[in-house]
Amino acid sequence: MNQPINSVLKKFTQRQVLFYFITNVIINALVPYFGFDDLNTVYMFRGEHPVARFFLPMSLLLPLCITIDILNKTTALLEKKQLVTVLPPKKIKIRFMLKTAFLNAIITLILTLAAMLGIQACLPENYSFNGILLSILSGILAGGMAVFFTLQPIHKVKKLYPH
């Protein structure tokens, strides 16, 4: 007898959120920490190791990779457990995954860049940040993005496959 979609997806979602949150917090906090030359003077856009060097790629790649991965895993799980009766062709699933992932990535990149430019415009000239605090902020931001971009695609899949 098949389990309802919600109970299967609830367990799956909890595991995935925990996995993505922990790995992204650790990785995205440690990489900037060890990447900054001088932890006392880190600039937003200038210098050899600015904040933008870490935040902008993260804001593009993290949503893109997590969205594709979680959509792939979710649809594979539903197919494996035979919880859906009507499945779209593979070409349509791939198009949906890529469209969702690129949309998430582009929107996140634009919002991150806009926030960084807004902060830069409000700061005095030659203002520098503390690298340790930026590393912690990077980890927290990555963890939040990981949780959001794990839950959002699963919610979309639930809408596509009504139970």
User: Are 125 and 85 within 8 A, CB to CB?
Assistant: no
Q: Which of 84-105 are b and which e, b meaning 16 or more Cβ less than 10 Å from the residue's Cβ?
A: beeeeeeeebeebbeebbeebb
Contact 15, 77 (CB under 8 A): no
150: pLDDT confidence band, cut at 50, 70 and 90?
very high
Q: Give per-residue pLDDT as tens, 10-69.
A: 899 999 999 999 999 999 999 999 988 888 888 999 888 899 999 999 999 999 999 999
Give the C-alpha separation, 62 to 24, whole Å: 9
Residue 162, pLDDT score: 64
Task: Report which of residues 8 and 120 the model is more confident about.
Answer: 120
Q: Residue 83: which H helix or E strand, with range?
A: none
- Reported as a single tens digit per residue, the pLDDT across 80-103 is 877 666 667 888 889 999 999 999
Cβ contact 54:31 at 8 Å: yes
In 3-state terms, what secondary structure has residue 27?
A: helix
